[in-house]
Amino acid sequence: MREQNAPIVIIGAGAAGLMAALWAARGPRPVLVLEGSQHPGQKILISGGGRCNVLPSQAAAADFVTHGSSHALAKILRAWPLAEVRRFFEEDLGVPLRLETETGKLFPASERARTVLDALSKIPARGLTAVSSRGATIRLGARVVGLAREGDGWLVRLASGETVEASRVVLATGGLSVPATGSDGAGLRIAQALGHTLIPTYPALVPLTGSNPAHRGLAGVSLMVTLTVVAAQMHVGGGLAPTQGDRKGSPLPVRGGFLFTHRGYSGPAVLNVSHIVVGAMREDSPQPTLFVQWCDLDTAAWDARLRVGTGLALPLLRDYLPERIAALLLAETNLTEVNLAQLPRADRRRLVEALAHYPLPWTGHEGYKVAEITAGGVPLAQVNPATLESRIAPGLYLCGELLDAFGPIGGYNFLWAWVTGKIAGAASNA
């Protein structure tokens, strides 16, 4: 039949699509990658501040968030264990990785995201020769707007009006985050039109906004904090999480970098809990409270420290915190001029709370324009975890950010893209 000889068509040349192409190209049928933008792998290039945090040094299924089955998610991740993905990059693609010990992140030794994209695509001048030498070609500026069944295969419709025949299709179009990189949700709409029921999408790993003018004055100040989220109830990880500390998405106290921005708050600790805030806003549930412990000292340790303090508080606080934050907390509690030796108990308690249990006055989030990831998407229940073939539309394979799963900052989302890209690519051309 005609469509039996048609190529495997991979839609999207991002992280998942390029990995899918490398593996699909090992199979018998030709492989054609259709990329809507003029530049493949744009998110790879901007990732990790231009350094591309390719992988984490450790990962477990429990690090990821899905609204579906954590078992399906774990099964998918087990199919290509982290150590093997790392070996693939270092030995097969020739990209040595270097561990950043303080964060546990793996970056290319070159410190350049371009090294990763070039290795995945080996672009000498124009065109993707690594992909093409294994029997795959890529078309840039080929934006897909629809998919229809044709016999045993597919008819892929481009924005230009052209149609392309495909024996099987791999959908790797990403989510909705940073649409300037080419991912604007088109693939989600295509999946929905084919009968998939989407988990509503929302921005995750996204900076939060705040309205406190004194905080905006601290823009650029960063420090290590511990964040605790107290949420009334949440629908994450396939269950209704309790008030706090559930490993399926309502994290235990999160220690990490915190950054004051011109609009609010960012840094890994904030980004890693942002989905809880955004999720609660979307569901109109009670708003979660984010409590900040500004340094290693918790409430008991601060209480003990302040009890024996003498003189103004600022010199003591400065030993543990950036001076501007110490000054802000003292100003907010009206204790700038107070001598610690005469500090009433109630005031000491207020200061301890401000130092170790500070309710962050967030007001919202910065949306898809800057979010690093899209939460929600095609439910894992609608794909076969062994092949990532759709259970709704056989012959269609789904991978990457399009699927309902994401991980924290630290290389976890590329890990998801590489693993799911490999599974879908290899299975599509088996």
Ligand X SMILES: Cc1cc2nc3c(=O)[nH]c(=O)nc-3n(C[C@H](O)[C@H](O)[C@H](O)COP(=O)(O)OP(=O)(O)OC[C@H]3O[C@@H](n4cnc5c(N)ncnc54)[C@H](O)[C@@H]3O)c2cc1C
**Residues at the site binding ligand X, with contacts judged by CB under 6 A:** 11-17, 34-37, 40, 42-43, 46-48, 52-53, 143-144, 172-174, 177-178, 181-183, 186-187, 372-373, 400-401, 411-414, 417
CB of 375 to ligand X, least distance (A): 11
CA 279, 280, 282, 283 torsion-angle sign: positive
Distance in Å, CB of 230 to ligand X, minimum: 28
Closest to ligand X by CB, 206 vs 317, is 206
- Evaluate whether 397 touches 428 at the Cβ level (below 8 Å): yes
Nearer to ligand X, 183 or 201 (CB): 183
CA distances, 402 to each of 42, 175, 316 (Å): 16, 5, 49
Q: Measure the CA–CA gap between 20 and 25, rounded to whole angstroms.
A: 8
Q: How far is the CB of 365 from ligand X (least distance, A)?
A: 14
Strands (E), 263-395: 264-266, 289-293, 358-359, 362-365, 373-377
Q: How far is the CB of 191 from ligand X (least distance, A)?
A: 11
Place of tokens 């890994």: 268
Tell me the C-alpha to C-alpha distance, in Å, between residue 235 and each of 227, 276, 285: 20, 9, 10
What are 234's two structure tokens?
Answer: 């949440």
The CA–CA distances, whole Å, from 295 to 104, 185, 228, 318 equal 20, 40, 13, 11
For ligand X, the closer of residues 10 and 280 by Cβ is: 10
The nearest distance, CB 119 to ligand X, in angstroms, is 15
Comparing CB distances to ligand X, the nearer of 37 and 266 is: 37
DSSP code of residue 45: H
Least Å from the CB of residue 229 to ligand X: 22
Give 376 or 411: the residue with its C-beta nearer to ligand X: 411
Among 159, 155, 176, residue whose Cα is nearest residue 167: 155
State the amino acid at position 12 in one-letter form.
G
Q: State how far the Cα of 112 lies from the Cα of 53, in Å rounded to an integer.
A: 10
**What order do you get walking across the sheet with 8-11 strand by strand?**
136-139, 31-34, 8-11, 168-171, 396-398
CB-CB contact of 170 with 425 (8 Å) = yes
Give the pair of three-digit tokens for residue 353: 């709370």
For the CB of residue 49, give the shortest distance to ligand X in the complex, in Å: 8
Q: Which of 24, 39, 189, 207 has the alpha carbon at shortest distance from 117?
A: 39
CB-wise, 231 or 372, nearer to ligand X? 372
The one-character DSSP state at 111 is: -
Toward ligand X, which CB reaches closer, 143 or 324? 143
Quote the least distance from Cβ 300 to ligand X, whole Å: 36
Q: CB of residue 168 vs ligand X: minimum separation in angstroms?
A: 16
Q: Which is nearer to ligand X, 340 or 417 (CB)?
A: 417
**Nearest C-alpha neighbor of 173 from the set 147, 200, 199:** 147
Helices assigned H by DSSP within 136-210: 186-193
Q: CB of residue 335 vs ligand X: minimum separation in angstroms? A: 39
Whichever of 187 and 425 has its CB closer to ligand X, that residue is 187
Please give the DSSP secondary-structure letter assigned to residue 94: -
**Nearest to ligand X of 22, 52 (CB atom):** 52
Q: Which is nearer to ligand X, 203 or 237 (CB)?
A: 203
Distance between CA atoms of residues 292 and 229, nearest Å: 9
Q: How far is the CB of 288 from ligand X (least distance, A)?
A: 23
